[in-house]
Structure formats: C-alpha cells, structure tokens
C-alpha cells in the first residue's frame, strides 16, 4: 500500500523541545518537515554537507556518553549516532563491515554498553576520528532513515554486518524479503523457511533482531491479525507495540485488531 506523503511545517523549535525531553514529535503528515532541523544535525554529525540549523542548545546526535566508553586494544569496534524517529530518538551503529545495530528505544549509555559487550570491543559516539568508511555508512543510514520516515523509501540499501546464529540468520534473511506495506504471520514465515512447526522459535529470532527497520521484523504479526510482539528496543512492551503499530501505519498497514 502507498505510504502517506509529507508536507512542510515550521515547528522546529517545538520538535527540539520534544526531543530534548525524550518525547515523540507530533505525528501526522507534517512529520518530515518538523524533523528537518534534527535530521540536519544528524547529517552534519556524520560528515554530510548540509549545515546544522534549528533551536540553539538542541541535543547533539553524537553527544558524549555519561559513562566513559571502554575501548580495548586502543581502537573502537563500532561508532554510533542518534537519529530522530517519530517516537523520539533511535541509535544507529556501524563497524568495519557495515551496520551492526539499530536500537529503537534505549538510553544511550545502555545501548553503548550492551553493544560493546556483544561485539567484544569499544563503542563510541561518531566523531572526526572514526574511519571514513564508517562515516559514509552512517551518513547513508541517516539519509535513508530520513527518507523512510518521510514515506519516500520502501527499502534500505545499506551494508549489514549481521552477527547471528545460523537459525536467527535464516529467519532474519527471510524477513528482509517481506516488502514495504506487506505483513506476514509468524506461522507463514516459519513455513516459508521450511519449518512449519517453528512459529514460536521464529518469534524468538525476531526478538533478537539487532538491526530492526533495515531487517523489517515489524512486518511480522500474529495469525489472528494482532500485532504480536516487538523486540526492536528496550522500552516497555506497550511502548514497543506502539512503535510497531506506528511503523506499520507509516507503510499504510492498518491491522484489524
């Protein structure tokens, strides 16, 4: 189905205050324009040419961690940015081989610490010292996320470093083939990968998806038309289901329940 289009709306300062407080900006067709100032800072943080603009004192997408990051062997293994989303801020992290994480609803320090543990190395905010390929991937990710949230991008084209078990990889690779505006049930996905009795295990693999949005696990729903679960972030179950519902609505999907 066709996603809704974006319209202009001059409410940058209001969006800045909402992002500062951790609240989502106003929903509706003016979303893309209302996020423009914050998105411009994302592009600047990862080295794109668009200059920063917006309210003075607004939160930086590459603000330093409250806790000092642990860097082993003198070099980080990943760097991240914070990027505006309809519900607040999300985190995007990249390493040597591509995207390693997108986290939809975690505190920055918790995100960095958990990712460092998973990758076995230091994770730092993006800055001038990170490798140029990392900056290019983060810049592309920021641009594509902006386009997706504005309803202008049905699929992502980004390098992915998917560090997952063989089972999780099987499920997540199949999930990437579910198109924009479409949904599939857990049971249907299980049958698609040749494991018709493994719907519950499919749900477990989706809950461990380290790169939601790019691997669109929000498009997998319950057989009865309910949302099912959503493991794209560390928020409460209710909050994460609201995020899942908003992503499906963005793509033009309205579930019956």
Residues labelled catalytic: 217
Containing 105, the helix (H) or strand (E) segment is: none
Q: Helix axis angle, 36-45 relative to 12-21, nearest 10°?
A: 70
CA distances from 176 to 127, 153, 194, 217 (A): 30, 15, 16, 8
Tell me phi and psi for residue 92, to 5 degrees. -130, 125
Contacts of 96 by beta carbon, 8 Å cutoff, 6+ apart: 77, 131, 133, 134, 161
Contacts of 255 by beta carbon, 8 Å cutoff, 6+ apart: 183, 221, 225, 226, 227, 245, 248
CA atoms of 161 and 25, how far apart (whole Å): 31
CA atoms of 190 and 125, how far apart (whole Å): 37
Largest CA distance in the chain: 55
């Amino acid at each position: 189905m066709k996603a809704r289009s974006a319209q202009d709306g001059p409410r940058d300062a209001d969006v800045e205050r909402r992002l500062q407080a951790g609240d989502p900006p106003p929903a509706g067709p003016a979303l893309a324009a209302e996020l423009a100032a914050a998105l411009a800072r994302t592009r600047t943080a990862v080295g794109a040419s668009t200059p920063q603009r917006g309210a003075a004192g607004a939160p930086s997408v590459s603000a330093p961690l409250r806790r000092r990051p642990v860097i082993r062997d003198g070099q980080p293994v990943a760097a991240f940015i914070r990027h505006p989303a309809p519900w607040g801020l999300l985190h995007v992290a990249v390493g040597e081989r591509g995207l390693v994480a997108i986290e939809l609803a975690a505190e920055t320090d918790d995100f960095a610490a958990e990712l460092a543990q998973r990758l076995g190395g230091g994770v730092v905010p993006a800055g001038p010292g990170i490798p140029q390929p990392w900056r290019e991937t983060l810049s592309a990710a920021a641009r594509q996320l902006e386009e997706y949230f504005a309803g202008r991008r049905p699929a992502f084209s980004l390098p992915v470093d998917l560090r997952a078990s063989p089972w999780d990889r099987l499920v997540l690779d199949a999930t990437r083939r579910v198109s924009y505006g479409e949904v599939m049930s857990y049971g249907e996905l299980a049958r698609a990968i040749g494991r018709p009795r493994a719907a519950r295990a499919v749900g477990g693999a989706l809950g461990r998806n380290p790169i939601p949005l790019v691997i669109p696990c929000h498009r997998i729903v319950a057989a009865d038309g309910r949302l099912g679960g959503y493991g794209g972030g560390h928020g409460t179950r209710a909050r994460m289901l609201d995020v899942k519902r908003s992503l499906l609505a963005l793509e033009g999907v309205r579930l019956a329940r």
